[in-house]
């Protein structure tokens, strides 16, 4: 089940909200947990056992770490136990087929069954690990109430695709939170904003990319148009889903962390990664980069630390070589910027810096988009070594999808935030949102193109 589905919008969510708001506060976490387990089990009922097992493991280890907080060796054992079990689950379900396939390339003949990827495993594994680490570091106390802890792990707004919410972000709100009409309205508008991003922009530009990338004959301009569309698709797909998650959380009384901050206005790749998937970037910074020594070490060690973090960032996104290459690609650029390029860029005009960042970002998405190395090689050739500059397909695609591309570019910037809000603009915005909602639903009813990219991560 996805947020941008008719079942969720007109069945699951209304029933859940009615019950959630009617029951007393002490029963709200139970209702949230119950519906979250139903939400997760909708498509994959078997893997709900994995989610419950992961929660039990980290709940027990968190309690044990807290019990032996004065005994460094014992509490370290329980922390290591938590990390090993979590990474083992992630390794088995997400990476085992990839590892075996690559070992077989060396001449071996190992056979294991194909393992389906459980939804959201990368997200809830990182959440539960961060809890154990934070309890070990003394940043939070272990949760004694298993219902509260299980609710934290399983709550459906951010379970499948983040943002990665740490226990310390919402531990107080699990026990006491403000639930009122203003919060509901604010959350509703945030949710609808995300829905419009997903259905109206991401789905349309994504469909165009699917048409172009599946074609056997692509002109140079068509290839660039396609990868620009993918860049817009992945941003509005993921940021839209994050907005919907944050909006749902607000409707329920939770304040989830911001996950995107207009990353395409960045002037450097360093800035881009401070604005893109912020909850993942801060997770790797706090739990990998800083423990390795961060930047408070020699240049060689610092370079090593950056490469490790970005190797893991790429591998986190998927069990395929293109993700590893993608992670190292950005890691190397970040190292070069840190060493000298960032200073040189600061002396250039703003538009030059922006063009530099956008081109490198688009090339990064080119690597990201194709798990098949042969398709990646083919598409790269069409972008950079193509004698056919333009064709009729480009003209047709551009004419029919121009409006969605322009809207994508406009709403990739904070230009809308500059509109002054007053009583009149509130009414106008309300009418616009109503019309956009009707259009979005009509597209969903027509069974239009509606994938969700980050489900596979």
Q: How far apart are CA 408 and CA 207, in angstroms?
A: 14
67 near 141, Cβ under 8 Å? no
Tell me whether residue 354 is one of the annotated catalytic residues: no
Q: What DSSP string runs through 285-296?
A: IIIIIHHHTTTS
Catalytic residue (one of 111, 277, 317, 354): 317
Alpha helix (H) residue ranges in 42-145: 48-67, 72-90, 96-104, 121-137
As a whole number of angstroms, the distance between CA 260 and CA 281 comes to 11
Distance in angstroms (rounded) separating the CA atoms of residues 309 and 287: 10
Question: Who contacts 416 (Cβ-Cβ below 8 Å, separation ≥6)?
Answer: 410
Q: What are phi and psi of 450, to 5 degrees?
A: -145, 60
Residue 92, CB-side half-sphere exposure with 13 Å CA sphere: 8
Contact in structure between 57 and 37 (CB atoms under 8 Å): no
Do residues 199 and 443 lie in contact, with contact meaning Cβ atoms separated by under 8 Å? Answer: yes
CA–CA separation, 342 vs 300, rounded Å?
A: 18
174: nearest Cα among 125, 138, 131: 131
CB atoms within 10 A of CB 332: 15
Distance CA 226, CA 393 (A): 11
Segment (H or E) for 319: none
Catalytic residues: 317
């Amino acid at each position: 089940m996805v947020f941008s589905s008719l079942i969720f919008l007109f069945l699951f969510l209304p029933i859940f909200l009615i019950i959630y708001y009617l029951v007393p506060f002490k029963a709200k976490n139970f209702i949230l947990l119950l519906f979250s387990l139903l939400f997760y089990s909708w498509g994959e009922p078997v893997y709900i056992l994995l989610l419950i097992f992961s929660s039990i493991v980290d709940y027990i280890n968190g309690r044990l770490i807290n019990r032996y907080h004065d005994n460094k060796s014992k509490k370290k054992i329980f922390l290591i136990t938590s990390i090993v079990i979590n990474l083992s689950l992630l390794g088995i379900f997400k990476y085992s087929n990839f590892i075996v396939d690559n070992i077989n390339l060396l001449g071996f003949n190992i056979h294991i069954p194909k393992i389906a990827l459980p939804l959201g495993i990368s997200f809830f594994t990182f959440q539960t690990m961060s809890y154990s680490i934070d309890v070990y570091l003394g940043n939070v106390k272990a949760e004694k109430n298993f219902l509260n802890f299980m609710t934290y792990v399983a709550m459906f707004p951010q379970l499948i695709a983040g943002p990665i919410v740490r226990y310390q972000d919402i531990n107080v709100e699990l026990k006491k939170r403000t639930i009122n009409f203003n919060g509901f309205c604010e959350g509703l508008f945030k949710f609808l904003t995300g829905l419009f991003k997903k259905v109206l922009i991401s789905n349309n530009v994504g469909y165009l990319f699917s048409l172009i990338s599946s074609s056997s004959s692509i002109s140079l301009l068509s290839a660039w148009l396609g990868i620009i569309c993918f860049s817009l698709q992945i941003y509005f797909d993921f940021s839209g889903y994050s907005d919907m998650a944050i909006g749902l959380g607000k409707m329920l009384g939770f304040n989830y962390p911001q996950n995107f901050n207009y990353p395409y206005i960045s002037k450097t790749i360093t800035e881009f990664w401070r604005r893109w998937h912020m909850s993942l970037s801060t997770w790797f910074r706090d739990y990998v980069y800083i423990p390795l020594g961060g930047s408070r070490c020699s240049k060689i060690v610092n370079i090593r630390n950056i490469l490790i973090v970005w190797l893991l960032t790429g591998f986190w996104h998927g069990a395929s070589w293109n993700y590893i290459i993608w992670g190292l690609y950005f890691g190397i650029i970040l190292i070069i910027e840190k060493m000298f390029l960032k200073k040189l860029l600061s002396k250039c005009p703003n538009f030059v810096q922006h063009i530099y960042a956008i081109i490198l970002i688009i090339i990064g998405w080119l690597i990201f988009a194709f798990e098949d190395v042969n398709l990646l090689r083919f598409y790269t050739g069409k972008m950079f070594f193509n004698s056919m500059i333009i064709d009729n397909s480009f003209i047709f695609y551009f004419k029919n999808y121009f409006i969605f591309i322009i809207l994508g570019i406009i709403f990739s910037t904070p230009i809308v935030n500059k509109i002054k809000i007053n009583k009149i603009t509130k009414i106008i915005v309300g009418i616009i949102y109503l019309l956009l909602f009707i259009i979005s639903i009509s597209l969903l009813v027509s069974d239009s193109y509606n994938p969700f990219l980050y489900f596979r991560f």
